[in-house]
Amino acid sequence: MFFDTHTHLDYLQQTTGETLEKLVQNAQQADVQKILIVAVSQQNFKIIEKITALYPNQLYYGLGLHPLYIQQHTQQDLEQLNRCLINRSANLTSVAEIGLERAIPALLTNALWQKQGDFLDAQLQLAKQYDLPVNLHSRQSHDQLYPFLKRIQLKECGVIHGFSGSYEQAKRFVDLGYKIGVGGTITYQRANKTRQTIAKLPLDSLLLETDSPDMPVYGFQGQPNRPERVEQVFEHLCSLRKESPELIQYTIWQNSVKLFGHQ
């Protein structure tokens, strides 16, 4: 059984026009029994909450304010997030997707970089207050993210989603108690550094994810990514690791359910 620990299922539905029922069925046919849906802005809090409620045994969700949209986030959005966390249902199991974005120059002006840090800090504090794990976006920002996580030590920690960095960077996060999200990147031979890193990390520090509809796996470039493609990520992971596929699958399932299943 698999748990896709990072999706934007609401966007996948909009992109493909398929019913939610069809998307969940397709996933289940590929043994993806559980899916975490993460928010990017206050605008999709309600829709994610609604679609998760339709499949409470399969779907979980995280609410958060993504750094890509830092220009539009407001103090009111943080207050709304706080209200949602206070009144959360059992399936709201994380503060997500939050983090830092350094790949887009327009978001690195002094004012916006400061705002990224302020919003990350505020959301980590909320996660700490409500004993929730976080699902972290970290693009070209592993070294900048680490001090935040070291300073605001979460009981539940969380995952560095879509990790692509060095073994040393990954190990620092793992030593703090964080998991590393393994997605489509490892299906590309050219992603040598990431593949070597994932091969060496402790097995119990890994989670599987797709980032649907983004981060396509090799062979499906140009198509919307889907939760069922976790299977391909898993196969590539098995080819990189020394453990048996059964042990890899079991360990990662346990990691995932413990972190993002019902609290």
**What confidence tens digit (pLDDT) does each residue in 130-142 have?**
999 999 999 999 9
pTM of the predicted structure, to 2 decimals: 0.97
Burial 188-198 (b: 16+ CB within 10 A, else e): beebeebbebb
Q: What is the model's pLDDT at position 45?
A: 98
**Residue 195 CB contacts under 8 Å (≥ 6 apart), including other chains:** 186, 189, 240
| Cα gap 189→103, rounded to integer Å | 22
pLDDT band at 86; cut points 50, 70, 90: very high
What are the chain's domains?
Answer: 2-258 (3.20.20.140)
For 2, the enclosing helix (H) or strand (E) is: strand 2-7
